[in-house]
Structure 1
Amino acid sequence: MDMKLLLVEDELLARQRIDSIISKYSADWVISEYVQSVTEFKSALAHVQDFDLILCDIHLADGLSFRALQEVELFIPIVFITAYDQYALEAFDHNCIDYVLKPIQEDRLIKALDKASKFSGKVQKNSTPPEFFGELLRYYLPKTYKKRFLTKVGSKFVFVPVEKVAYFYSEEGITYLVESDSSMRYIVDHSLTELHQELLDPLKFYRINRSMIINLDGLIEIKPYQNGRLALLLNVKSEELVVVAREKVTEFKNWINQ
């Protein structure tokens, strides 16, 4: 089904990433107009009937995009894409069908596009399915991430604050925490998947490959590496080679630049 999209986004890298994902998602979906300010958004909404879906950042150069939306009555869906989760409830006053947090995960945006594709024609004002508010509350209200890790050294227990974690890595089924500055290594009772998906703040921690998650605060240097990968220097001594997998390089750069 042909879909014409309005993209409201003032960050160039975010625009390029969204455009790339949509191009891979469907050849029939086209971003027919880009705007990057509240003023430009208001002008685009004057001919909103030309669009089937709006992808919309919230924080723009001249204010919140909600300012433009308050002046119109919409009959097409909006997917908000933002780094801020505190606006989620307000977003649903404006025909929001999904709320995607930055840094943008490709599979997460595709899920939102799948949801949008199920809306045939124009949607009615305030037609968001009631059950979707439950999903919103479950996933997008402010989250509490892990603050410290309890580990054991000999017969003693040690607390490592999350701020002092340089990286996590997995080896032979065991997950290790490496402390910044001291380079001490501790075993933790969580898988990398559990750490990545549930316990760590995604704005600070990134899974660079299958076996390692790094802390952005510990990153010192980025260098090109073999086969299109990136080699990283962290603020800790490491016997492990810290390399961003090739398929994650673009996403990693976007994450760094958020």
Structure 2
Amino acid sequence: MKVAAIQMVSTPDVAENIARARHWLHEAAAQGVQLAALPEYFCLMGMKDSDKLAIAEPDLSAGGPAAEAPLQAMLGETAARLGITVIGGTLPLRAAMPERVRNACCVYGPDGQRLARYDKIHLFRFDNGRESYDEGRVLEAGEQPVTFKAQGLKIGLSVCYDMRFPELYRAMSFTSPDQPEPCDLFAVPAAFTYTTGQAHWELLLRARAVENQAFVIAPAQGGTHQNGRRTWGHSMVIDPWGEVLACLPEGEGLALATLDLERLRAVRQQLPALRHRRM
């Protein structure tokens, strides 16, 4: 199966970001891709964290006109038009808490119907004296791991900072100790900072692939944004042995790769680590 991790350098202009996302989804489909994934915050890298509140949408699956949820509508319509599965990076959905939003990853199938919604569970906080981030000021954390089936694969959803918590990935593959159903692919849309990305991005992604014997697709923000923030980029596709199949270091574009399911089966057969799990 051919996949694309889409890298963007999103701006404070939502309309411009939507146009760029649509462009790269069309380009991915033209390259024969069956599944394409957008990065975290594909729709907005605002001048301040609270800018997300102004564009927060209601959950379209709960009913209501598409005009109130243009981001969700665009993802579903584009998936249907192109006949591909779209992992829609993240977008802000309204939360129960006042002055908070959910950082939600919505997935759409080739028929345009939503297959899954995952709300980012782990909220990033970092302060090294030069850079300071605290997603908890604006985001409400999600609670539940989410998986879905597409293109014959079991796919697990995570977002950016989640990758530092291996127990989340185990939870998506093992609903109970005696009933493993491993994920075949993990999606990790991200907007990793340059500082933390340079140190840990590839290391963590390859670790999640190896320990779960699964493919990883990690579409990222990759460049210097209008708000002054620099993101690490290096959108990647990684195989179950930890080999990097594709990487786009910086700037907009596609990291393209073909997922070899025979390779997946061979890795799991030759080294049956998932069956050896005892805790």
TM-score by length of 1: 0.25
Q: Determine which structure has greater relative contact order: mean sequence separation of CA pairs < 8 Å that are 6+ residues apart, divided by chain length.
A: 2
Query: By percentage of residues, which structure has more strand?
Result: 1
Greater Cα radius of gyration, structure 1 or 2: 1
